Amino acid sequence: MFQRNALKLGVVAATVLGIALTACNSKDDNPTPAPPRSATYKLRGTGTDATRQTGAVTITENSDSSVNVILTLGKHVKDTLHQVYFISGNYATPTTDTLQSAEAKGTGGSSVVTVELFKNVKTIKLRQAAGASKDIAFKYNDATKLLAHIKVKHSKFSADTLAIGNFGKEN
């Protein structure tokens, strides 16, 4: 009789222990991180290219909440330093506040030129008229709510625009 009760007691103890171990193991100490968020905004040409996409700007979020902003330019002229401007306000009503300026060297042909406007940033410096500047938050949510645009000029002294498009909340 003792052996029969011991066997039942052993089965009950094993079941309780199994349930307890399963409950402990179901808790995930290392949850799978959320995939990085990203958004892409189209740039269009001007004049006869006004309906054609000539580039794009993509913002991606890093695991530390910093962001990267990358410009890809499909239309460019070989060996020309195109001027890239990242400006507050939409392109129909721009402001004089510049978020970033850069150069993109054209390679000609059908290749795409890539320009890293920001890498691993959480704040950026807003350059205002008369030389003033201030730091503004630039994490993913801040950047996608920003009212801004990208303008790519043919060259530093040219009035010709190769690509233009809104960035952030206007899209």
- Residue 11 pLDDT grade (very low, low, confident, very high; cuts 50, 70, 90): low
Neighbours of 94 (CB within 10 A): 16
User: Would you state the CATH architecture of domain 38-168?
Assistant: Sandwich (2.60)
- Residue 71 pLDDT grade (very low, low, confident, very high; cuts 50, 70, 90): very high
The per-residue pLDDT for 62 is 94
Tell me the domain boundaries of the chain: 38-168
User: In the chain, where does DSSP find H-type helix?
Assistant: 2-25, 140-145
% of the chain beyond a pLDDT of 90? 32
The per-residue pLDDT for 37 is 93
Does the pLDDT at position 25 exceed 60? no
Does the pLDDT at position 59 exceed 90? yes
Identify the sign of the CA torsion 64, 67, 72, 77. Answer: negative
- Contact partners, residue 23, CB within 8 Å, separation at least 6: none
- pTM (predicted TM-score): 0.74
Biggest alpha carbon distance in the chain? 101
Bigger pLDDT: 44 vs 5? 44
